[in-house]
Amino acid sequence: MNTRDLLIEIGTEELPPKALKRLSEAFGAGIRDGLKGAELAHGELSVYASPRRLAVRVDELVEVQADKIIERRGPALTAAFGEDGCPTKAAEGFARSCGLDSVDELDRIETDKGAWLMYRAEQPGRPAAALIPDIVRGALDRLPIPKRMRWGALDAEFVRPVHWVVLLFGDETIEAEILAVNSGRETRGHRFHHPQALYIAEPAAYAPLLETEGFVVADFAVRREAVRAQVLEAGRKLGGEAVIDEALLDEVTAMVEWPLAIAGDFEERFLDVPAEALISTMKANQKYFHLIDANGKLMPHFITVANINSRNPQRVREGNERVIRPRLSDAEFFWTQDRKRRLDSRIEALKDILFQKQLGTLYDKVERVAGLAGDIADDLQANRAWAERAAWLAKCDLMTEMVYEFPELQGIMGRYYALHDGEPEEVALALDEQYLPRFAGDELPATPTGQALAIADKLDTIVGMFGIGQPPTGSKDPFALRRAALGLLRIVIERQLPLDLPALIARAVKGLGERLTASDVATQVFDFMMDRLRAYYHDSGVGADVFDAVHAQRPTQPLDFDRRVRAVNHFRRLPQADSLTAANKRIANILRQAAEKGIEVPAEVDASRLSEPAEQALADRLNALEREVVPLFDARDYEPALARLAELREAVDRFFDDVMVMVDDQALRANRLALLARLRNLFLRVADLSRLQG
């Protein structure tokens, strides 16, 4: 079958930088799905994106759809013809629906289940050129654009005004109107370096033509790496290391078509301002990359990426230096002004800031969190006074000029201001650590005070929102409760904190008191936390059945839960695991059936009633192993305990091979059930292994 390459390009005004990569990927996926839906086979699909264009190139696209046979089964012959042999209305209606004039034009099909009328027709494939315009329109309609715009008097809607459209199939143009623009084969180069039209001979020539003549690197990934390389090289020339923030790199790449890194300087006096504030203003306002020295200290330089190959780069450099100076001066001013007041002088101002209508002000929240953090500090044998002090100061930096201007610095600036005020260093660090972890894989609070504060703050929010009937839904989680719950669990588990989750929840519920209107809040929150714990282990590669086996025993300490999960996960890799898992399932079924029949199982095994060698051997092995593993269980050292219990496999297998449990002799039966219950209860000290998949 003949094939050609296809090029699709939508030329626009400058697209939103933060959305460009997502729009490009979605456009490529939309074209791929459209071609698949139209059953048009093709080779590699390449995506291009720059500030003024979204493009897709499809290699070796078939020129025509494959012909296919259409088959439709109609009514059964018994319903298609009357006793007189004439077609029924059902048969005639089916024929008309197939575009036929007579029932006689239909085929018959006979199977083991009966005979039916059948319509068969060969449908010739349609030309790809006729299908592509609608595929493009469909892909554009499905782009993730929150708010579309119109331009001029046109009805077309898109994220930005469209100026040209390329639809090139091989060396021929597909004529169509896309977003109120007639398609052609001419693209545009760089807005300044080559604003004139560029004639595209064939799709394969698209990217090379733009780069060599149009001053446009159309491939987003290639342009991104060019930006990275230039920025890093500029940093090396200044004797430092340019710090590449991947999100900033994406945004800068989306702002330039012909990147050129240019280094600049700023006055060293600004380095007296906290580095995080300077970096925030450089990144957020100017899209600059910052530099650090060999000791990780901020250097008085920056790197910007221009979208033009200037004949006088020195003027570009000076212009950027001139622009950054007032930004850094603002940060310097905020830093100076904020330190004129102590952080604790802002506590009263928290009474004027609403946290949540039903849960009160920020002052109300920190009052609750202070008590909860103090209790957690006691549990951790940490400094209660520090935990309470950190809680009272925790939200005060929200009242400062710096955090008002740069909200992403909350906590960070609190740490700086607390240190300036002479607060204990651990209290100051806790003001920053309260927000950890900020994202998946982020670091966790390192200090006991920070751990107590972070847990208390997150838990108060979770319990509060559940308590007023506003848990997260499938699509909405405005208070980021899922992230807070996962962060809390990570802190407890990964920092190995011996905290009991129901006890923590109960304290938070008590602290919120009459503000809570929902019922059974503690149970709801605990179950929610368990769901997040399930997600935590899923992301770690732990099977759902391992989680369920541990969860069945309802351990209430996340750290204890984690030790059990890791022990079971290790146990299932042992060669004895499958046999003992099957035995646990069998024992669970036997004991359940006995309970259903009202058979009472003794609490102790009567050694004198052990008559079979196999049951005697099992009892002896149990006695010996219990003395070894019970101390391990008591110390919550589950992994070696399960490894020792794995040695029971041979005795257990022999027992089930040689011993009948449900015998007629009631005393003998009860004793054997007691032996199995004793065996099962030993494993239940860790998890319900009967829930593991074989």
* Domain CATH code at residue 427: 1.10.3210
Rg (CA), the chain: 36
Nearest residue to 396 via CA among 409, 384, 410: 410
d(CA 24, CA 338): 43
| Domain extent at residue 272 | 220-338
Q: Are residues 531 and 464 in the same domain?
A: yes
In a domain, 297, yes or no: yes
Q: Are residues 291 and 388 in the same domain?
A: no
DSSP, res 498: -
Q: Are residues 226 and 204 in the same domain?
A: no
Q: Are residues 89 and 179 in the same domain?
A: no
- Any idea which residue has 């892909």 for tokens? 139
Tokens of 207: 């990217």
d(CA 499, CA 486): 15
Q: Are residues 360 and 424 in the same domain?
A: yes
In a domain, 31, yes or no: yes
Please identify, among 212, 228, 251, the residue that sits at the C-terminal boundary of a domain. Answer: 212
pTM beyond 0.85: no
Q: How many domains does the chain have?
A: 5
* Positions of the chain with pLDDT lower than 50, given as ranges: none
Q: Are residues 155 and 15 in the same domain?
A: yes
Q: Give the per-residue pLDDT at 385.
A: 98
In a domain, 601, yes or no: yes
Please identify, among 281, 308, 338, the residue that sits at the C-terminal boundary of a domain. Answer: 338
Nearest residue to 168 via CA among 9, 37, 1: 9
159 in Cβ contact with 145 (< 8 Å): yes
Burial of 428 (0-12, 13-18, 19+ CB in 10 A): buried
3 state DSSP class of 398: helix
Q: Are residues 138 and 279 in the same domain?
A: no
Q: Are residues 298 and 249 in the same domain?
A: yes
In a domain, 191, yes or no: yes
In a domain, 554, yes or no: no
- Contacts of 199 by beta carbon, 8 Å cutoff, 6+ apart: 185, 186
* Domain CATH code at residue 648: 1.10.730.10
In a domain, 629, yes or no: yes
Element (H, E) at 344: none
* Domain CATH code at residue 138: 3.30.70
Q: Are residues 406 and 518 in the same domain?
A: yes
d(CA 457, CA 504): 12
Q: Give the per-residue pLDDT at 694.
A: 67
Q: Which residues pair with 76 in a beta bridge?
A: 116
Q: Are residues 84 and 60 in the same domain?
A: no
d(CA 302, CA 310): 18
Cα 191–Cα 193–Cα 194 angle in degrees, nearest 5: 70
Cα 445–Cα 446–Cα 447 angle in degrees, nearest 5: 100
d(CA 388, CA 425): 14
d(CA 97, CA 262): 69
Per-residue exposure over 143-182, b if at least 16 CB sit within 10 Å of its own CB, e if not: bebeeeeeeeeeebebbbbbebbbbbbbeebbebebbbbe
24 in Cβ contact with 57 (< 8 Å): no
Please identify, among 175, 191, 212, the residue that sits at the C-terminal boundary of a domain. Answer: 212
d(CA 683, CA 671): 19
Residue type for position 12? T
In a domain, 546, yes or no: no
In a domain, 550, yes or no: no
Residue type for position 641? A
Q: Are residues 104 and 134 in the same domain?
A: no
Q: Are residues 190 and 262 in the same domain?
A: no
